[in-house]
Chain A
């Protein structure tokens, strides 16, 4: 999605493609954990 107001067919494919989503899940977890845990040391 780049400024249009609809998801393309390709984007919808990736949203449901489980292997890619597993990769995103791992990335997202690492991202959220690393930034959220920084807060603990304040």
Chain B
């Protein structure tokens, strides 16, 4: 009997666990260790952050799902990984009791999502700093409370400044920040308060609509329409000011300090701000048989797990080498260790990085969205099943082959809500396969705004919660 251990029960880890439990859970031991006993449907935290969805609607308990799927659940935070042959285990701390837990494994999936590195920008974040975040449920609730308090001030006639975007020169997840800014706009319109707010988009993207993926391009009526023109039109329509090519370096009460591509330094004042922090890998200890630190064999300096990608290529070469992106998410030094979702180390950025004259790198990190994370979770699970059954992996999918569909809602009403729907294939441009300057399939890629997007967003919320609960037909729903 093989023991498979999954760290983290988010988009990637939970997906991996469901496939493993479903296919081999009766014959083998599948265990999930997660520091939260609920699954969180992260995309809907945007709505939590403006007070349009109750937090409880975005979560459900994991254990009942795992009981049905022959998966053992351990409610603990993983701390140490001991991957050397002979005695391979993970040490965790049980939530509630603080008791140390030891979990042995034959195969390990590391899928704990990102460490939200607020410390990377002085003054950033809802705990030690002055800005808000929607990257965790408690943060989204805090952002909602602050936002609603701000609305109360506006109702009394006060004019306010709102800044939303990225809070670090190397931040990712611009899509979530974009969705939040347009939701805030729409909510203020509905409340009759829009004229009381000056709203600014502040981001490290090289251009508007870049989203850390080098933008989205589609063919429409014989023209190539690019996301920078499209998002510019959205912001112009909504009266949202924008400033890109900007890295936030420090935050003080009511003041954001930044530097831009030209190396200029400046500030933006705010009454309310939601800025996405830099993401890092979870700070696990990787310990060898002799007790030594072996982290360089497993993770890069940012803590992301090294897998089967080609690391260290300069950007121009990486942009022309689709095969540099990992296919099986397997650590080369410990072949029974896999990483899924945000936890794996990408070989480099997708968007063009930039370093200004002050030596500040302003470069969005590649996003590993929900769909990407789910696909990786499935690929990893199927390969572990292959290895257990036949000793040979048969599944692979690079980000240069993956599709991503993102729906950035603007308000949640099914009648007058709106959303930008973005589909791109592939997520990372493949200039060998798609012989255009963008390296994408311009026919499949899609960029559209309309009320149908709002319907889509609702549908995705309920469909994915259905899928993640492993209810009837869950496998038919793509990741």
| Subset of 25 A-B contacts with CB under 8 Å | A1-B229, A1-B233, A2-B221, A4-B229, A5-B233, A6-B237, A7-B237, A14-B450, A15-B449, A15-B451, A21-B455, A24-B450, A28-B448, A28-B452, A31-B444, A31-B446, A32-B403, A33-B478, A36-B371, A36-B403, A36-B405, A37-B478, A38-B403, A39-B397, A42-B379
Residues of A within 8 A of B403 (CB): 32, 35-36, 38-39
Shortest Cβ gap from A19 to chain B (Å) = 11
A: residues with CB less than 8 A from B are: 1-7, 14-16, 18, 21-22, 24-25, 28-29, 31-33, 35-40, 42
Extra inter-chain contacts (11) besides given A6-B233, A16-B450, A31-B444, CB under 8 Å? A2-B223, A5-B229, A7-B449, A15-B418, A15-B450, A24-B448, A28-B448, A35-B425, A36-B371, A37-B478, A39-B479
Q: Which residues of B contact A35 (CB under 8 A)?
A: 403, 423, 425, 444
Residue of A nearest to B327 (CB): A42
Assuming the contacts A28-B421, A33-B478, asked whether A22 and B452 have C-beta atoms less than 8 A apart, the reply is: yes
B448 and A16 within 8 A (CB): no
Task: Name the B residues within 8 Å of A1 (CB-CB).
Answer: 225, 229-230, 233
Q: How far is the CA of A31 from the CA of B452 in the complex (A)?
A: 14
Q: A6-B237, A21-B452, A32-B423 are in contact. Are A39 and B229 (CB under 8 A)?
A: no
Interface residues of B in 425-464 (CB under 8 A from A): 425, 444, 446, 448-452, 455-456, 459
In the complex formed, the residue of A with least CB distance to B222 is A2
Q: Using CB atoms, name the residue of chain B closest to A18.
A: B451
> Please, which residue of chain B has its CB at the minimum distance from the CB of A3?
B229
Q: A14-B450, A24-B450 in contact; A36/B479 too (CB < 8 A)?
A: yes
Point out the residue from B232, B401, B452 that lies within 8 Å of A24, measured CB to CB.
Answer: B452
| Residues of chain A with a CB closer than 8 A to B451's CB | 15-16, 18, 21
Nearest residue in B to A33 (C-beta to C-beta)?
Answer: B478
A20 CB to closest chain B CB, in angstroms?
A: 8
Please give me the 6 A-B residue pairs with the lowest Cβ-Cβ distance, nearest first: A36-B478, A25-B452, A21-B452, A15-B450, A24-B452, A5-B232
